[in-house]
Structure 1
Amino acid sequence: MKDVLRPVRAIGRGIRSDIRRRLPYYLTDWTDAWNYRTVPATVYMFFCNILPAIAFAQDMFDRTEGAFGVNEVLMGSALGGVVFGLLAGQPLCIVGVTGPTTIFLYTIFHIIVPKHVNYFAFVAWVNIWSFIMHSLLALTNAVRYMRYVTQFSCDIFGCFINIIYIEKGIQILIKQFNSGDINSDRPHVDYSVYASAMFQIVTAMCVLVFGLASVVFSKTRIGYPWIRKFVADYSLPLIVTFFSGFTFFPGRIRKLQDIERLPIQSAFQPSESSRQFGREHGWFIHFWNIRVGYVFLAIPFAILQTLLYYFDHNISSIMAQQPKYVFKKPTTFHWDFFLLGCTTLVAGFLGIPAPNGLIPQAPLHVDCLALPQKDEKGRHYVLEQRFSNFMQGFATIGLMTGPLLKVLHCVPEGVLAGLFFMMGLPGLLNNELIRRLCILLRDPEIDRRLKRDTPADTEANNVKDEKTQSAHGSLTGASIIEKRDPSFKDGLKNVNNDDPSVNECYELSTYSKCEEEVIASPRVFDGTTLNEPPEEGVKTNKDLNPIVYDDSAMAEPSEFQAMPAIDVLQPISPDPLFTISRITLFKYLLLSAIGVAGEVGISQTIAAIGFPGVLFVLLIGGHFLSKLFPNDIDILDAPAADAFVMGGLEVGL
């Protein structure tokens, strides 16, 4: 009898375990918010969430014939922020309207509306069924299977999202050429539309260039640290504000009469055009005004939506708990997924886009809340609180007031296109697949120098010992150099104990970061500067390890002064990907490219509703990589969740 009742007793165990672990910290989630870092985190996340949201609002307004407007998207973002800020077990995960959700909704629109079906009632039933599936997955502890999700599918999904962002920006700019009489056969064509379209392109490129420049500047050592921090925290809203006002400058710019801007509606009211698609009674959707057959037709759509949110939201939560930070409070996955189902249900009743975890806003939120204090491993502590998430959601409601809607209407569509580029291009360039592609296309001279400067047996042993940790950048370049040159650490720390850049380089950064920091410093590892020769009789690292500091591998003195540390560090690579063959890496990237092409390709057709199914196939296919690459799987792939997150996926007794 005990074995028979065991599955019954397991129902809801994950939710109960999550609540039991997290509830004692609820009060401190509010009291810990009394810290200055809460203020910039709240402001930064408000703009990071709201600016992409209004860009999605523009895209959905165009693709659904006005069924969804800016107020619907704002309401969806506010719902996620307020509910998860108040009730979520992991309030650091930012929840709002995502790109995949918009694709899902306008694809349903193009399938259902031509059949003269009540669109909003049908979407409401999709969300009702999705809520039931969310609840069943949470109650049966199915979220724990996220432990089997690997980086393979995460990298493909991230690449897909960034490509879609870039594509949406391009589509907005192309639309500017179709808004007038440019292609008319009439003898007198109004070329002001063409001029306005070109101006929108210039505006979008300016937003992109200045946005990327602010990111680069915040990572340099130019100016005071507080200036760089200010640029990192507030550059995005300042850029949007400036280039929105730029379109009102007097002169020829002001004479452009056809600049398309963000469409708005009345304060706290849904879109006027939505009445013809089943919203005749205001915000609340009469979901019963639909034929019974379509109620059950909504089930397969709900399955796809549940699969999408199962992966997208939980991955966002995992990324909000990066191993480079120290977290003291337990996380909750089963309860949060059930709560996500509840917000999906409410979104269906209100006829708004259902919110779920946002990438990259979730990890950016944690970056803003990082504290100066570190643990013994050099990892920063995080201000774990729920005030910033709640307040950014609550402030979003304020944007639905009349005066602020007028302000949003001033944003030109070129700025929205630039926002899509800012979201997509940096994320694409920082994607793990792009990094591996660069390694595949590396200069063969690097391989020859590695073989010359590093004994093969020592290299293999050093890398194999820690290949799992360093597969995604967790092993520092300094630690590997120290393995090969024990005097490295002492030589580095003897440079100047008061120089935080050098110590931070050793303790925290990866190889590329370490190399970057040392180049920025005028000192080298033997305790001297470029302009000061070592004291007589003192052994330098070059004397202790002549193999690494080979004069034949170094540049001439004039070149060496310009780039002091390149030739010291370049022969030593901490990345285990250098230890596998190019053919193996090519095969892995080819499989990843097929996955990305499948996601992007299906999203361009009426079958875009099935892209969560492609994602699910990739999740399953990732487990067969060990059979294709049995010797290198630990380097090529790794679990998406680390040990701390694994603890949150456990089901308590």
Structure 2
Amino acid sequence: MAPIGSLQRTGRLAGGVLEDLKRRVLPWYGDDFRQGLHPKALASVLFLFFACLANAVAFGGLTELLTDGAIGTIEMIVVTAAGGVIFALFSGQPLTILGGTGPIVIFTGLLYAACQRFGLPFLTTYAWTGIWSGVFLIILALTDASAMMRLFTRFTDEIFAALIAVIFIVEAVKDAILPVFRQNGNSTLELASLVLALMTYALARGMKRFTKTPYLRRTIRNLVSDFGPTLAIVIATAFSFLYADVPFDRPAVPDQLTTTTGRPWLVDLMSIPTWAIFATIIPAFMATILLFLDQNITSRLVNAPSYQLKKGGGFHLDLLVLGFIVLGASIFALPWIVAATVHALNHVKSLSEAEIVEVDGQRRERIVGVRENRLSALTIHILIGVSILLLPLIKLIPMAVLFGLFLYMGFVTLAGNQFFDRVTLWFTDRNLYPNTHYVRNVPRRIIHYFTAIQVACFAALWILKSSPIGILFPVLIALLAPLRLWLDRFFKREHLQALDADEDMDEAEIAVH
């Protein structure tokens, strides 16, 4: 899916990193900032600022829950701000947004449980695991390991993107919707929280689709669409103050910059036995697989041909920068951040220009260009850093509003996932199937077999990550690539090409027309 030049193995130490610098960074660095001086970039900044802050608050809170308070929201905000600024300045593909992700948070919880089982201090064990993982990522970047992503196809990308999107949706449903039906708490609070979450989702979705309505002038419709998610957060938060007697849950952040437990920021790296320092190489190996795949799969999705990017990607350089970020964060026992699939894709989409085209009698939206820049990502993470000084204001946003934003981003990501589209065919009248390239060129039975295999892989990932051996689920993600190669023996080449092509065939047809 990415420009093939960015995934070539050079055979030289740091060869891929140097190629990314020469091809993507140096020729475009100044233009990356000029392209950010545009209202669309401003709208993207405001939307993604709230989205990334919501991600940091929510996943920071989840990390705090899974680690019994050892690592929490304030640590997640700090590392998101610092790591995001570093990545925006030095990466090869600045459209990629870093942040906490569901799989990484889950892995952190599993590591904490292992530390409890073996009687090891969690923070020091976590720090050494991250240090080793950071070193491994740097080695992988310097040896062009990202070139292995050529073995990955849409098959794996779709499953991984669906996993991330569903984690967002499940967290939103679990925290904002299910409590209403449990009937074991404050029913007024739970119902009001549900209303806020659904209001945020509906407003964000409705205003984002405002460009498709005939109302007002096109310039105004575009502004409403671009600023839709931001306006949804502001309106829903303001609405919550109309019910002053309802004790809405709000972000649990301290009033000043300090760690969640009040511990020193630096970790005592020598507070575990020497054997344990080297034993952490084992979980570090698992974490490295997860971080490597999370980063590179998201990069493939960001650089998909359908987004019409002109400047190309920078896989090797991105992985090198990520390795240093993980290494530095681990010394302070801060959460590991990586390319956040949902936020990165929403970042690209928020910077895109689209037009309505007609293919085989169907009207559909096609992206014609993206305002590729560094300034939007840089500003987003600077604002997150500034938000540390405005912690009392962050507390004003109800958690229900943030979970409504989670719900919106999860469904937006699923909506662009061909795997999800093919799953819906199971429940669709055959006479009403969309006239897509794979429906035209592949028998229905083959489409359903291929989709069923992806569903089975998705279910296996979900079950494994929730099991006592969940720490191994990164290995299963890595095994999706050889599994896809194995499918070549059971499907015709032309069928796989239609179902699993790097580029949507309909997009290619549009380009020809």
**TM-score category by the smaller chain?**
0.7 to 0.9
Asked whether the equivalents of residues 70 and 265 of structure 1 are also in contact (C-alpha less than 8 Å), the reply is no
Q: Percent identity?
A: 26
Match in the other structure for 1:77 = 80
Deviations 1:537-582 (A, max 9, x none): xxxxxxxxxxxxxxxxxxxxxxxxxxxxxxxxxxxx3523233222
The amino acid across from 2:215 in the alignment is I
Matches for 1:335-350 after TM superposition, within 5 Å: 335-350=317-332
My pick for the range that moved more, 344-353 or 259-268, is: 259-268
The amino acid across from 2:245 in the alignment is K
Deviations 1:90-140 (A, max 9, x none): 212222222222112122222213544221111111111111211221122
CA distance in 1, matches of 2:222, 2:301: 22
Matched, 1:117 2:123: no
The amino acid across from 1:582 in the alignment is R
CA distance in 1, matches of 2:106, 2:422: 29
Alpha-carbon offset, residue 203 of structure 1:
2.3
CA distance in 2, matches of 1:379, 1:245: 34
Match in the other structure for 2:249 = 260
CA distance in 2, matches of 1:383, 1:336: 19
CA distance in 1, matches of 2:316, 2:504: 15
Alpha-carbon RMSD: 2.9
CA distance in 1, matches of 2:211, 2:432: 30
Counterpart among 62, 66, 70 of residue 63 in structure 1: 66
Matched, 1:395 2:377: no
Match in the other structure for 1:481 = none
CA distance in 2, matches of 1:269, 1:421: 30
Matched, 1:101 2:89: no
Matched, 1:223 2:216: yes
CA distance in 2, matches of 1:33, 1:357: 20
My pick for the range that moved more, 428-437 or 23-32, is: 23-32
The amino acid across from 1:318 in the alignment is R
Alpha-carbon offset, residue 290 of structure 1:
1.3
Counterpart among 179, 197, 200 of residue 204 in structure 1: 197
Asked whether the equivalents of residues 201 and 408 of structure 2 are also in contact (C-alpha less than 8 Å), the reply is yes
Closer, same or farther: CA 587–371 of 1 in aligned 2, 3 Å = closer
Gaps of 5+ in 2: 1-8, 356-365, 506-513
CA distance in 2, matches of 1:416, 1:372: 27
The amino acid across from 1:246 in the alignment is F
Counterpart among 14, 17, 21 of residue 15 in structure 1: 17
Closer, same or farther: CA 386–425 of 1 in aligned 2, 3 Å = closer
Please, what TM-score do these two structures have when normalized by structure 2? 0.86
**SS of aligned partner of 1:11:** coil
Alpha-carbon offset, residue 397 of structure 1:
0.7
CA distance in 2, matches of 1:144, 1:640: 19
Closer, same or farther: CA 602–382 of 1 in aligned 2, 3 Å = same
Closer, same or farther: CA 427–330 of 1 in aligned 2, 3 Å = closer
**SS of aligned partner of 1:380:** strand
The amino acid across from 2:233 in the alignment is V
Deviations 1:314-362 (A, max 9, x none): 2222222332444443432111111110000011012211221122322
Matches for 1:487-636 after TM superposition, within 5 Å: 573-631=435-493, 632-636=495-499
Match in the other structure for 1:548 = none
**SS of aligned partner of 1:209:** helix
CA distance in 1, matches of 2:408, 2:472: 27
Alpha-carbon offset, residue 596 of structure 1:
0.8
Matched, 1:236 2:229: yes
Matches for 1:39-188 after TM superposition, within 5 Å: 39-173=42-176
Closer, same or farther: CA 14–196 of 1 in aligned 2, 3 Å = same
Larger radius of gyration: 1
The amino acid across from 2:403 in the alignment is A
Closer, same or farther: CA 606–229 of 1 in aligned 2, 3 Å = farther
CA distance in 1, matches of 2:147, 2:353: 30
Asked whether the equivalents of residues 306 and 504 of structure 2 are also in contact (C-alpha less than 8 Å), the reply is no
My pick for the range that moved more, 72-81 or 205-214, is: 205-214
CA distance in 1, matches of 2:138, 2:180: 46
CA distance in 2, matches of 1:54, 1:129: 27
Alpha-carbon offset, residue 77 of structure 1:
1.3
CA distance in 2, matches of 1:409, 1:338: 35
Alpha-carbon offset, residue 38 of structure 1:
3.4
